[in-house]
Chains A and B, each alone.
Chain A
Amino acid sequence: MPRTLRMSSLRLAAAVVAAFALLRGAAAAPAPPPPSRAELVGLVTRTLKSWETGDAAAFTSAFTDDAVWAYPGGRIRRGSFADTFNGLCARKRDIRIYVGDFIVQGAEFAVQYQFAATDRKTGRRWAVGTGVRGMIRDGRIAVIKEYWDEHIPVGQAANTLPLDEGEIFPAPASVVMTGERIN
């Protein structure tokens, strides 16, 4: 057998063995267990509540290095989280976070909360019901997606909508649906 061919065969055999070893390793490595419900609820609640103290480090450290944070207006990666957090804290004061009940399935969760804050310049306050869907990985938040209607804070700041702070709904709790905006 020519030397080159024998060497190729040896390399091929080594590659096959290595590939099998990798496959076995991948198959054998157990997937990390999802967090307990209490752990998940505790982590997400603490993270949301960190807005009240303006603790950017506490907020950002709750997320995985490749985390995605999506909201009406954008979608950002972990590297921009601190700037976004500090940017809001520079514009708002007296932040209050009201957290509702969680729905948890494995590592996924959904929760409703209300984000209330006062604008430092105008003194106007808004309190916005927010729906969140997210996912936990390795004990940290990997995805957080927030849903709210931008009409609500804009209307509250303009005094055309009530605040109803502390009651978690998509629109202020005292607003009854009329036909004006349904689409």
Chain B
Amino acid sequence: MRTKPNGRGAIGVLLACGFGLILTAVASPAPGPDDAATFIRTREANRQDFQDPDVREAYPFGRSDPANDKKLAQAGAFDALTTYDGIDHKHFIVEGDRYAVEWLYHATWKKTGNRQAEASLCFAQVRNQLLFRWTEYFDDTVGELQDRHLLPLYGDEKENFPWPGPSKTARIYRP
């Protein structure tokens, strides 16, 4: 159970925090405009609203850019086959202006109403607190196999994996 610190304890905590802040300020320079950690903390949850006009994207479906995305959106391509249900289980690795995030993507197939969950590994680069490069790796056959009930959805595992487990369906390492 947490308790409020007494008077002396509070002063001690304040002093420690003050020293900590001073030490931090001396030891590490302020993050620059391309700092990926700042982007994750402040903008990543709404990353689609913070894209550089020259962003370059890459997916298993091919490469894209804002002009191509606009064309595809106008054609209704982004929600033709599935409806988006959300993303969770994010795990970040951050270095300088780049970060990788592993997550679980959820959607529902429109034809069958079956759900899909695909683990993805994404690579991003930040410029002026905007997404400048976006590359996403996932096995798109996972969702297709889930739609045919040949693979389970992910269970209660705390960590993401490229292939849900335990599953009776397996494949050799690279065809």
**A50: B residues at CB distance < 8 A:** none
**B143: A residues at CB distance < 8 A:** 183
Do B60 and A170 have beta carbons less than 8 Å apart? yes
**Chain B proximity mask over A152-165: 1 for CB below 8 Å, otherwise 0:** 11100100000000
How far apart are B144's CB and chain A's nearest CB, in angstroms?
8
Q: Which chain A residue shows the least CB distance to B95?
A: A103
Interface residues on B, range: 35 or more
How far apart are A116's CB and chain B's nearest CB, in angstroms?
11
The answer to whether A72 and B172 touch (CB under 8 A), given A152-B60, A169-B63, A178-B62, is no
The answer to whether A72 and B139 touch (CB under 8 A), given A131-B121, A133-B121, A147-B119, is yes
Do B80 and A149 have beta carbons less than 8 Å apart? no
Bound form: Cα–Cα A50–B160 in Å: 26
Bound form: Cα–Cα A179–B174 in Å: 26
Q: Which chain A residue shows the least CB distance to B166?
A: A75
**B82: A residues at CB distance < 8 A:** 183
Using a CB-CB cutoff of 8 Å, which residues 52-68 of chain B contact chain A?
57-64, 68
Of A128, A157, A169, most B-chain CB atoms within 10 Å: A169
Stretch at the interface among B9-17, B20-28, B43-51, B71-79: B71-79
**A5: B residues at CB distance < 8 A:** none
Do A75 and B68 have beta carbons less than 8 Å apart? no
**A178: B residues at CB distance < 8 A:** 61-62, 72, 77
Bound form: Cα–Cα A73–B174 in Å: 8
From B94, B139, B160, B172, A149 is in contact (CB under 8 Å) with B139
**B163: A residues at CB distance < 8 A:** 70-75
The answer to whether A170 and B102 touch (CB under 8 A), given A147-B162, A177-B59, A183-B140, is no
**B93: A residues at CB distance < 8 A:** 103-105, 108-110, 133
From A71, A109, A176, B162 is in contact (CB under 8 Å) with A71
Do A170 and B139 have beta carbons less than 8 Å apart? no
Q: Which B residues are closer than 8 A to A by beta carbons?
A: 57-64, 68, 72, 75-78, 80-82, 91, 93-95, 98-100, 102, 107, 109, 116, 119-123, 135-143, 160-163, 165, 170-175
9 A-B pairs in the complex with CB atoms less than 8 angstroms apart:
A87-B173, A103-B93, A126-B175, A147-B138, A150-B171, A171-B62, A178-B72, A182-B80, A183-B143
Q: Which A residues are closer than 8 A to B by beta carbons?
A: 70-75, 84, 87-88, 92, 101, 103-105, 108-110, 112, 115, 117, 126, 128-133, 145-154, 157, 169-171, 173, 175-183
